[in-house]
Amino acid sequence: MTQLEESSYHKISLKKVHSATNNLSADNFIGQGIAGKVYKGILSDGQHIAVKHLINDGHMETFVREVTSLAHVKHPNLVALLGHCDGEDECFLVYELCHNGNLSEWLFGKDKILTWIQRLEISIDCARGLWFLHTYPEGCIVHRDIKPTNILICTNFLAKLSDFGLSKVISVGHSYVSSEVRGTFGYVDPEYQNNRHVNSSTDVYSFGMVLLQILSGQRVINMDLTRPMPLSKLAKNLRKGGHVTEFADPKLNGEYSVEAFGLVFKLALSCTAPKQQRPSMEQVVAALEKSLHISKK
């Protein structure tokens, strides 16, 4: 851990972690990440935190990667890493707490509803976070696991990207890095699966899949059909023979701009198109901001 500047994070004592989370009480359990359980807690100064508990069973690489890639990378749309605590056979990552849970809970929870404007603003927040990562001066940071559960919602409905355990940094002057295929089923770029090349377009594909879910309120693969179909294929089929508003989440209750919906639908399909046809995250942000402007007229 010596390669990090001490000023970029704070080492937190094991005692403080246990005190904040009431000894990792089940009442404070809020989720399960790739590499460990997550608990909410409150520090002695009143700050609300999320604590990721990692057991030393092969996931220490994830721990080091998250600390090294996040400790000095700050942006309003990235969950802030506040500190860490490491022991011999376990370690903890301490983050700011986002009180409104994750995007998956809002899209698929029966008693939760996001308005059209909220969906657009959340999309813009995520896109800005990714644009920042992809254009980071010290090298393009590829998240590699963009999905609704990794998009956290703050009290004011500001969205932030979380869980950098799979992230890869591409050195300046290089267009990709080769890596084993990692990520979440349904969100992984098919081209990355084939050639094992990690680059920014890998995240663009995953973001496109999330956009399709934000539009439709559907799971990434519809298992209710006789033959399960990926959401991107469902969208492409609809584009050929129907009206895009058939794709709209029933929870929206028709309360959205049809023009803006069509623009975002088209954008999502371009993100999931073959790599050469995908937009950059800068272009994605511009298209989403245009859709928001149209929706607010």
Instruction: Give domain 103-295's CATH superfamily.
Output: Transferase(Phosphotransferase) domain 1 (1.10.510.10)
- Strand 177-178 relative to strand 197-198, pairing: antiparallel
Q: What percent of the chain has pLDDT over 90?
A: 59
Per-residue pLDDT of 201-221, as tens digits, reads: 999 999 999 999 999 999 988
Per-residue pLDDT of 236-263, as tens digits, reads: 888 777 788 899 999 999 999 999 999 9
The predicted pLDDT at position 283 comes to 98
Asked if residues 188 and 241 have their Cβ atoms less than 8 Å apart, the reply is no
- pLDDT higher than threshold 80 for residue 61: no
Euclidean distance between CA atoms 163 and 98, whole angstroms: 13
The predicted pLDDT at position 68 comes to 61
Domain ranges in the chain are: 6-96, 103-295
Take residue 177 and report the two structure tokens written for it.
Answer: 């890095």
Which residues are known catalytic residues? 145
- pLDDT higher than threshold 80 for residue 183: yes
Q: What's the Cα-to-Cα distance from 141 to each of 161, 167, 192, 223, 227, rounded to whole Å?
A: 13, 7, 16, 33, 36
Phi-psi region for residue 37, left (φ > 0), alpha (ψ -120 to 50) or beta? Answer: beta
> Average of pLDDT values for 138-166?
92
The predicted pLDDT at position 5 comes to 41
The predicted pLDDT at position 141 comes to 92
Backbone angles phi, psi at 72, to 5 degrees: -110, 0
The predicted pLDDT at position 153 comes to 97
Per-residue pLDDT of 110-130, as tens digits, reads: 899 999 999 999 999 999 999
The predicted pLDDT at position 167 comes to 84
| Mean pLDDT of all residues belonging to the chain | 88
Model pTM score: 0.90
Query: Please, which pLDDT band fits residue 226 given cuts at 50, 70 and 90?
Result: low
Nearest residue to 179 (alpha-carbon basis) of 143, 134, 226:
143
**One fold for 6-96 and 103-295:** no
Take residue 59 and report the two structure tokens written for it.
Answer: 């996931």
Question: What is the CATH architecture assignment of 6-96?
Answer: 2-Layer Sandwich (3.30)
